[in-house]
């Protein structure tokens, strides 16, 4: 047999052509744009045939008679047993103009071409979308009953099928596949759409929540999902065994699933928390459409909605289909497939294959340059407090990645030693600059900012790392109010001076990222660190305000709630010598993460848990923190005792091992 296929390079088309070519003596002609000629060798290799059995016919789907040359039309006349029209836009987020051009105009062109070559039968692959948002059961013999065709995808699929029904002059058959996903045996898929849109949300749930924690899901209408291998097998079988013109077949799952069930199935496949509680989206149906339209007309509402949908990785139109009301009868399909052994597999049995393939090959995160070099290469990065500890380790990584790395600190000697260490780490070609600055001094800060503007054109990344920590109980600080003033002067006012001095330059360039090194102590309200926590909490609060004000100007902020790190800053507290703390290199990795991913916050699970505990059970949390406060004494330095060595009880040692990185 001889075949002609449009959309042969598509996800379904490639597999259909391979199936057709498996038939002895078969020849497949396939429509191809002239500019896609380079795809032919790869297609032939995939199909496992030579160029005499799979023959490209060059043309244009949207041109009259597929834009195929007259001599090619003449050569094909009367030779094609079956013509399959699969070329279409299968994308809910595509614009209306492109959908009309391909789905409607392209189908009309295919119908004209089928008549021109006297094809014996035209097989039009439509979609269940042709039914629109019909409420109830949509049978295979129904068409005009479709309703709710406002969305461009639904409208164009309905209109394209109408063209076949009304204008086709050769025998025809229509096939309406459900939502097509990857292969049920391999998981292979070529794009993200349909249920795949929810995969990113499920992945984030898995990253944030433990698998045993019950989660809240979204309930809605029924969705119908079929794997591509079932669609191809059913299409191949029916088209070769049933030739009556005017028939329609629903290639759907006979079961169908509610939206909540689908989310739960894929959550299980991803080893994410099980969704035990569902919010029924139909509850929002009482809101009149006019009210919804009015709300979406408000700019703040639109921005929030788009931001949320973008963060979840969902197209903006997705929520429109959550309450999908249509179910599909498939009696004709069942009759046609009886005895063939072709059945739609159960989603429970192959969902894990779809998830595994997506996470390995289609996860959008795989295609984002998340290398440090791709983020900061050639960019100006300022690290305050860059002569030691976390700042020095981070500066080494930035310089190695090709950033123009600037460090500042108070000591000239320490800065010179730091520059040498950075260049030894990153190579002599690394661009490293150092400035002696007292961030706590207003005049020194202003002069420094001016130098940065004149000598480097401002900065692209600002790492507010310079800080002072004081570990001393309040009852030991009654006569040491300067502890609070000094800490606030550096940790809060110093960071603000630098940031506010550089923000105008970032605003002018419409880009910039600020990373503020805060502390896990802010999340857990660690006792004995009242001065330090207060200064960092002030910085956190300012950052939250600033991030909202500059969200539309290309400037982003990240707060890093850093656990306790083994740096010179904590050296006076001898009890930390026996505790498991982060090393500067590990802390620098958190700073790197903040620059690459630009999240609102970088924090450990323990820190987040502490914050939640304070919010959910404040009194219980106070008792826990007070117990640890009494368990861990002030350091000798805090008490003003030189040479004395603090000792820990067995309980304190056990607690410190269990609560890694918490300040006590």
Catalogue the active-site residues.
532
Task: Copy the structure tokens of residue 287.
Answer: 């809101």
User: Could you identify the residue written with the tokens 């002072």?
Assistant: 468
End-to-end CA distance of the chain: 80
Strands of 38-187 (E only): list them.
54-58, 82-85, 122-125, 136-138, 172-177, 179-181
Q: Tell me how far apart the alpha carbons of residues 612 and 258 are, in angstroms, rounded to a whole number.
A: 33
- 542: buried, middle or exposed (CB in 10 Å: 19+, 13-18, 0-12)? middle
DSSP designation for 383:
E
Chain centroid, CA 524 distance in Å: 29
Beta carbons within 10 angstroms of residue 490's beta carbon:
20
CB 576 within 8 A of CB 564: yes
Name the β-bridge partners of 279: 218
CB 583 within 8 A of CB 565: yes
Half-sphere exposure at residue 70, Cβ-oriented, CA atoms within 13 angstroms: 0
| Residue 571, H or E segment | none
Torsion angle, alpha carbons of 341, 357, 196, 605, to 10:
140
What is the sign of the dihedral through the CA atoms of 102, 103, 108 and 113? positive
DSSP designation for 199:
H
Q: For 492-539, what is the HEC assignment?
A: HHHHHHHHHHHHHHHHHHCCEEEEEEEEHHHHHCCCCCHHHHHHHHHH
User: Could you identify the residue written with the tokens 């596949």?
Assistant: 177
DSSP string, 589-610: HHHHHHHHH--SEEE-HHHHHH
Burial 10-43 (b: 16+ CB within 10 A, else e): bbbbbbbbbbbbeeeebbbbbbbeeeeeeebeeb
DSSP designation for 182:
S
Residue 101, C-beta contacts closer than 8 angstroms, at least 6 positions apart: 62
Strands 461-464 and 512-519: parallel
Q: Tell me how far apart the alpha carbons of residues 618 and 356 are, in angstroms, rounded to a whole number.
A: 41
User: Could you identify the residue written with the tokens 């990065």?
Assistant: 381
Q: Tell me how far apart the alpha carbons of residues 323 and 223 are, in angstroms, rounded to a whole number.
A: 9
Q: Tell me how far apart the alpha carbons of residues 567 and 33 are, in angstroms, rounded to a whole number.
A: 63
């Amino acid at each position: 047999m001889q075949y002609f296929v449009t959309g042969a390079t598509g996800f379904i088309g490639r597999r259909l052509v391979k199936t057709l070519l498996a038939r002895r003596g078969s020849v497949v002609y396939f429509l191809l744009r002239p500019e896609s000629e380079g795809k032919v060798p790869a297609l032939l290799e995939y199909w496992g045939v030579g160029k005499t059995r799979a023959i490209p016919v060059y043309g244009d789907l949207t041109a009259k008679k597929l834009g195929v040359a007259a001599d090619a039309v003449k050569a094909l006349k009367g030779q094609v047993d079956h013509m399959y029209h699969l070329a279409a836009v299968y994308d809910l987020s595509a614009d209306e103009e492109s959908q009309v051009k391909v789905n409607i105009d392209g189908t009309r062109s295919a119908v004209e071409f089928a008549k021109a070559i006297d094809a014996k039968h035209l097989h039009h692959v439509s979609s269940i979308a042709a039914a629109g948002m019909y409420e109830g059961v949509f049978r295979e013999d129904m068409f005009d009953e479709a309703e709710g065709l406002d969305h461009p995808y639904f409208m164009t699929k309905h209109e394209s099928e109408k063209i076949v029904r009304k204008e086709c002059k050769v025998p025809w058959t229509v096939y309406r596949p459900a939502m097509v996903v990857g292969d049920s045996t391999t998981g292979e898929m070529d794009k993200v759409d349909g249920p795949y849109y929810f995969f990113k949300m499920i992945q984030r749930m898995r990253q944030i929540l433990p698998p045993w924690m019950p989660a809240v899901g979204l309930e809605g209408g029924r969705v119908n999902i079929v794997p591509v291998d079932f669609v191809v097998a059913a299409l191949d079988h029916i088209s070769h065994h049933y030739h009556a013109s005017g028939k329609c077949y629903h290639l759907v799952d006979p079961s169908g699933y509610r939206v909540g069930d689908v989310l739960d199935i894929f959550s299980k496949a991803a080893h994410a928390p099980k969704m035990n509680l569902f919010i029924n989206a139909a509850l929002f149906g009482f809101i009149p459409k006019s009210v919804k339209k009015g709300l979406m007309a408000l700019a703040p509402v639109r921005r929030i909605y788009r931001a949320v949908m973008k963060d979840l990785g969902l197209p903006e139109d997705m929520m429109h289909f959550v309450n999908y009301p249509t179910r599909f009868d498939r009696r004709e399909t069942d009759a046609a497939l009886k005895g063939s052994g072709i059945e739609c597999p159960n989603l429970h049995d192959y969902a894990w294959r779809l998830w595994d393939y997506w996470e390995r090959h289609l996860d959008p995160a795989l295609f984002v340059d998340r290398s440090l070099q791709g983020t900061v290469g050639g960019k100006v990065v300022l690290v305050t407090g860059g002569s030691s500890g976390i700042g020095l380790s981070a500066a080494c990584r930035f310089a190695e990645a090709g950033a123009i790395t600037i460090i500042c600190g108070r000591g000239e000697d320490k800065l010179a030693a730091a520059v040498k260490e950075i260049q030894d780490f990153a190579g002599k070609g690394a661009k490293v600059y150092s400035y002696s600055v007292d961030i706590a001094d207003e005049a020194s800060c202003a002069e420094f900012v001016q130098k940065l503007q004149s000598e480097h054109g401002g900065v692209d990344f600002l790492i507010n790392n310079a800080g002072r920590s004081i570990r001393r109980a309040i009852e030991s600080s009654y006569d040491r109010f300067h502890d609070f003033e000094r800490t606030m002067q550096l940790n809060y006012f110093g960071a603000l001076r630098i940031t506010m001095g550089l923000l105008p330059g970032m605003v002018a360039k419409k880009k910039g990222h600020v990373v503020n090194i805060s502390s896990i102590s802010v999340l857990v309200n660690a006792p004995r660190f009242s001065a330090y926590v207060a200064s960092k909490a002030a910085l956190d609060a300012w950052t939250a305000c600033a991030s909202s004000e500059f969200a539309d100007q290309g400037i982003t902020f990240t707060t890093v709630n850093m656990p306790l790190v083994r740096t010179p800053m904590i050296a006076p507290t001898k009890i930390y010598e026996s505790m498991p703390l982060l090393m500067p290199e590990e802390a620098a990795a958190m700073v790197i993460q903040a620059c690459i991913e630009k999240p609102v916050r970088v924090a450990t699970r323990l820190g987040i848990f502490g914050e939640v505990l304070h919010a959910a059970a404040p009194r219980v949390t106070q008792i826990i923190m007070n117990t640890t406060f009494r368990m861990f004494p002030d350091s000798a330095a805090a008490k003003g005792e030189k040479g004395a060595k603090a000792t820990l009880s067995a309980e304190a040692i056990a607690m410190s091992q269990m609560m890694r990185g918490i300040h006590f």
